[in-house]
Amino acid sequence: MLRFLRYIAILAFVAIQAPSLYAQQAEITSHDSLRIYRSLDSALENPEKVFRLHLVKLKLREVPSEIFQLKNLRELVLDKNKITMIPDEIAQLENLEVLSCSHNQIDSITPAVLQLKQLTKLDLSDNLIGMIPENIDHLTELQYLILWDNPIYYYPNSLGELKKLKVLDILNNQLNYSTRDRLLGSLPHAKVIFSPPCNCVPGME
């Protein structure tokens, strides 16, 4: 009987402590998700706890392959480097929600980027991108598409299929009146930011 009562007491103690332990664990996880790592070496010390990584103005010429070890990464910022392409391995970061490679030398939005199904923000502003890919609508969670200051000449109709898009920033890109009207018509609920249209060759449809 005494052993049974002791067992009941242990169960009661666990039941009382469990919510507190869960709350503590949740707080630790929340703290980890807010921390921004600015050194790849420090991030690799605890790769499973890295949710945000900012490697800015480091003169990187390519995306470091070590980044793809960070399987829980949600935010990757590689602004102001000299990166020329986003490698296929980027698709391994299945939890990525924000990808920013502004102020680089990237000339295309690769198919691997379009496999990032959790992506809500893609910033490739101030690069060398000439066209938005036809299957951009594969990014079904995308809310912010930032492409200002690129030599874009192709705006596919599939942009209109981005149902969750809130902002399309194509400022300082060549855009004529018909392409502007088409984009505005296909994205009635999004804010489309653009420079004054020109009397130039229409953007391909």
Per-residue pLDDT of the chain (205 residues; tens, 9 = 90+): 555 455 555 445 545 554 544 444 444 445 578 899 999 999 999 999 999 999 999 999 999 999 999 999 999 999 999 999 999 999 999 999 999 999 999 999 999 999 999 999 999 999 999 999 999 999 999 999 999 999 999 999 999 999 999 999 999 998 999 999 999 999 999 999 999 988 876 555 4
Please tell me whether the overall predicted TM-score, pTM, comes out greater than 0.85 for this model: no
Q: Round the CA-based radius of gyration of the chain to a whole number and report it.
A: 23
| Burial of 1 from C-beta contacts in 10 A (0-12 / 13-18 / 19+) | exposed
**Rounded alpha-carbon distances, angstroms, from residue 151 to 94, 112, 155, 195:** 29, 21, 12, 13
CB atoms within 10 A of CB 85: 15
Q: Are 127 and 101 in contact (CB under 8 A)?
A: yes
